[in-house]
């Protein structure tokens, strides 16, 4: 690394080569994680549902995701003749693109000030939180557009549902993000993690119960945003056949699928960063537990380990939801959003603000 840096010069290294390498590594890692989330989902659902799950491809079925991808890649890609072509093609990209872009601001480990040589994030935007919210919103347009462009009545209903869903969960989700913002006093995601280490507590436990409330609202809204059970209304198989992606097949369908799982991971990652201390170890203020830092791992990789562990817990909860809950009706989801989550989020904001003033 140092050798390359000398050859191409520090400017080129810091602004072109290092980010490009990081992006490549991150993309591969995230796509692998997505593939194996689908595998884990099927195995865990199998465990919950007294059956075995995939076990044919490779030992314990571990090569199943690869077989799935290969199958989807070689499948015929069908476009309905009456479809609106540009929108039909654009929609899956709108779902998967923004979800992957959000990963660029998430800190997976400590910054260079701690590790000495590298940042465990691609970039640290000082309005990172706003960037996350803005990008997450774009994904919904893919659903609406895909449902409309397919020229299928069931798809259209699915698209309509996702529009209804969006306006009811985005507001409480936005509100709930204000709480960690107030607690940390910064919008940069790695700044928020640093604040949690500095204050010696995860924001989910801070200003009890307001941190917990905000965390809860964020996660429920996040489940709705990623269209997962019990809020999988836009694709509701038993009602709308496959909802917005009824007409999609082959790789275009796979992109929607990819987008859903990427969204799951993004929402979990943001929740970990904002509320559960990000890459920091548990009890980061207790000196006697410093062996939990996993200092024997090189270059601050211990942070990555903790981050991944927390992330996996969230993904498990997502899958657990799917094995347990029936589906909400979309007007009931709107009820939940407007009548319960928005007032609760406002209370969390007010409570946090009050605490802040009183403590100062």
Partner 1 sequence: MTDEILTGADQYETLFGVEEMELNFGPQHPATHGVLRLKMKIDGERIVDCYPIIGYLHRGTEKLFELHPFFQNVPHTDRMDYVAAATNNLAYVGAVEKLLGLVVPPRARYIRTILSELQRISSHLLWLATHAIDIGAMTPFFYTFRERELVLDLFEEYCGARLTLNCMRPGGQPYDLTVGWAEKSAAFVDSFPAKVDEYEGLLTENRIWKKRTIGIGMLPPEVALEYGVTGPMLRGSGIQWDIRKAMPYEAYDEVEFEVPVFTNCDTYDRYLVRMEEMRQSASIVKQCLDKLPEGPIMAKRPRVLKAPKEGEVYHSVEGPKGEIGFYIVGDGTANPYRCRVRPPSLYNIQVLPEMVRGGLIADLVAVIGTTDIVLGEVDR
Position 82 contacts partner 1 (CB under 8 A): no
CB of 1 to partner 1, least distance (A): 48
Tokens read off for 237? 């198989």
Polymer length in residues for the chain: 360
Choose which of 31, 69, 241, 294 interacts with partner 1 (CB under 8 A): 241
User: Contact region for partner 1 (CB under 8 A) — 13-21, 119-127, 232-240, 295-303?
Assistant: 232-240
Position 41 contacts partner 1 (CB under 8 A): no
C-alpha 238, offset from chain centre: 26
Choose which of 19, 80, 230, 299 interacts with partner 1 (CB under 8 A): 230
Non-local CB neighbours of 29 within 8 Å, separated by 6+ positions: none
Choose which of 20, 331, 343, 350 interacts with partner 1 (CB under 8 A): 331
Non-local CB neighbours of 92 within 8 Å, separated by 6+ positions: 142, 146, 248, 252, 253, 255, 256, 259
What is the number of H-type helices and E-type strands within the chain? 15, 0
Q: Which is nearer to partner 1, 5 or 327 (CB)?
A: 327
User: Is 77 in contact with 67 (CB distance < 8 Å)?
Assistant: no
Position 330 contacts partner 1 (CB under 8 A): yes
CB of 237 to partner 1, least distance (A): 6
Position 323 contacts partner 1 (CB under 8 A): yes
CB of 240 to partner 1, least distance (A): 7
CB of 18 to partner 1, least distance (A): 45
User: Contact region for partner 1 (CB under 8 A) — 9-17, 46-54, 79-87, 198-206?
Assistant: 46-54
Position 49 contacts partner 1 (CB under 8 A): yes
CB of 344 to partner 1, least distance (A): 16
Please tell me the count of residues contacting partner 1 according to CB under 8 A. Answer: 30
Could you give the CA distance from residue 129 to residue 48 in angstroms, rounded to a whole number? 36
Choose which of 40, 45, 67, 118 interacts with partner 1 (CB under 8 A): 45
Q: What are phi and psi of 108, to 5 degrees?
A: -90, -10
User: Contact region for partner 1 (CB under 8 A) — 69-77, 126-134, 229-237, 265-273?
Assistant: 229-237
Could you give the CA distance from residue 252 to residue 245 in angstroms, rounded to a whole number? 9
CB atoms within 10 A of CB 145: 21
CB of 51 to partner 1, least distance (A): 6
User: Contact region for partner 1 (CB under 8 A) — 101-109, 111-119, 225-233, 265-273?
Assistant: 225-233
Residues 98-157 that bind partner 1 (CB under 8 A): 153, 157
Choose which of 312, 327, 347, 355 interacts with partner 1 (CB under 8 A): 327
Q: Which is nearer to partner 1, 173 or 246 (CB)?
A: 246
Q: Which of 191, 211, 173 is nearest to 113 (CA)?
A: 191
Could you give the CA distance from residue 121 to residue 111 in angstroms, rounded to a whole number? 7
Could you give the CA distance from residue 259 to residue 146 in angstroms, rounded to a whole number? 13
Position 328 contacts partner 1 (CB under 8 A): yes
Choose which of 7, 50, 357, 358 interacts with partner 1 (CB under 8 A): 50
The CA–CA distances, whole Å, from 150 to 80, 81, 89, 92, 248 equal: 7, 9, 10, 12, 8
Could you give the CA distance from residue 65 to residue 40 in angstroms, rounded to a whole number? 10
Task: Annotate 92-118 with DSSP letters as a single string.
Answer: HHHHHHHHHHGGGG---S--HHHHSS-
3-class SS letters over 285-307 = CCHHHHHHHCCCCHHHHHHHHHH
Position 237 contacts partner 1 (CB under 8 A): yes
CB of 231 to partner 1, least distance (A): 10
Choose which of 71, 329, 339, 356 interacts with partner 1 (CB under 8 A): 329
Q: Which of 229, 90, 236, 251 is nearest to 154 (CA)?
A: 236
Position 48 contacts partner 1 (CB under 8 A): yes
User: Is 212 in contact with 39 (CB distance < 8 Å)?
Assistant: no
Interface residues with partner 1 (CB under 8 A) are 45, 48-51, 153, 157, 160-161, 229-230, 232-233, 236-241, 322-332
């Amino acid at each position: 690394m140092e050798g390359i840096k000398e050859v191409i010069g520090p400017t080129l290294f810091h602004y072109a080569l290092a980010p490009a390498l990081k992006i490549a590594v991150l993309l591969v890692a995230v796509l692998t994680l997505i593939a194996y989330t689908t595998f884990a989902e099927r195995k865990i659902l199998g465990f919950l549902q007294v059956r075995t799950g995939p076990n044919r491809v490779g030992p314990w079925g571990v090569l199943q995701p690869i077989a799935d991808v290969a199958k989807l890649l070689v499948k015929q890609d069908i476009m309905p003749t009456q479809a609106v072509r540009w929108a039909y093609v654009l929609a899956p990209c709108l779902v998967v693109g923004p979800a992957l872009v959000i990963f660029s601001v998430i800190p997976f480990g400590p910054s260079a000030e701690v590790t000495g040589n590298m940042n465990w994030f691609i970039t640290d935007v000082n309005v990172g939180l706003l960037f996350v919210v803005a990008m997450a919103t774009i994904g919904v347009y893919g659903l609406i557009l895909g449902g409309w462009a397919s020229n299928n009545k069931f798809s259209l209903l699915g698209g309509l549902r996702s529009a209804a869903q969006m306006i009811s969960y985005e507001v409480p989700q936005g509100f709930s993000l204000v709480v960690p913002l107030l607690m940390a006093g910064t919008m940069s995601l790695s700044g928020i993690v640093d604040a949690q280490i500095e204050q010696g507590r995860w924001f989910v436990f801070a200003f009890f119960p307001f941190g917990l409330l905000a965390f809860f609202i964020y996660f429920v809204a996040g489940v709705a945003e990623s269209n997962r059970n019990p809020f999988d209304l836009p694709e509701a198989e038993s009602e709308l056949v496959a909802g917005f992606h009824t007409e999609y097949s082959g790789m275009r369908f796979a992109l929607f699928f990819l987008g859903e799982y990427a969204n799951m991971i993004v929402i979990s990652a943001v929740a970990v960063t904002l509320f559960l201390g990000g890459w920091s170890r548990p009890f980061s203020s207790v000196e006697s537990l410093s062996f939990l830092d996993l200092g024997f791992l090189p270059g601050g990789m211990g942070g990555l380990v903790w981050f991944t562990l927390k992330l996996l817990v969230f993904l498990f909860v997502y899958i657990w939801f799917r094995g347990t809950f029936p589906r909400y009706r979309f007007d009931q989801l709107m009820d939940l959003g407007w009548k319960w989550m928005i007032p609760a989020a406002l209370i969390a904001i007010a409570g946090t603000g009050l605490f802040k003033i009183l403590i100062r």
